[in-house]
Amino acid sequence: MKIALYAVGAAALAFASHPASAQNAQPQPEAQAEAKPVTDAELETFIVAASQMQRVSEDAEIAPAQKQQAMIHILSQAQMTPQRFNTIAAALESNTQLQARADQAISRLRAEAQG
C-alpha cells in the first residue's frame, strides 16, 4: 500500500502540475521549497489528497480532462499547491525518515477511520 500511495503521487503530478506550471510564469524558488520541512499535518494532508487522487486516476468513467480538474480541486480543498505536493512526493521517494513518518501517519489515519 505504501508504494502504491507514493506511486500515485507521480501519476497525479502529471495532471496536477501542468496547469500550475502554465499559470506560474515566475520561477519558483525550488531550493527553498525543498528545504522547507514537511510537518506532520502537511504529510497527513498529502496522504489523504494522494489517496483521493488515486481513486480519481483509477476511475475509468471519468474523462482525462475531468480527472485533471478533479485532482486540481482535491489539492485546492486540501489547501496544498501542486508544487508543494510535487516536492513532498519527490521527497518520499528518497527520504527514508519521511517514508517512516508517512507509514506512521497512514497507520494512524487507518486506525482513526476504523475506530
Within 10 Å of residue 38's Cβ, how many Cβ atoms?
A: 19
Radius of gyration of the CA atoms of the chain, in A: 14
- Would you kindly state where each structural domain of the chain is located, as residue ranges? 2-14+39-114
Cα gap 104→51, rounded to integer Å: 15
Cα gap 50→102, rounded to integer Å: 12
Cα gap 73→8, rounded to integer Å: 16
Per-residue pLDDT, 35: 64
Residue linked to cell 502504491: 4
Q: Which three cell numbers stand for residue 104?
A: 506512521
Per-residue pLDDT, 67: 93
Per-residue pLDDT, 115: 83
pLDDT tens digits, the chain, 115 residues: what are they?
Answer: 444 444 444 444 444 444 443 334 344 444 444 468 999 999 999 999 999 999 999 999 999 989 999 999 999 999 999 999 999 999 999 999 999 999 999 999 999 999 8
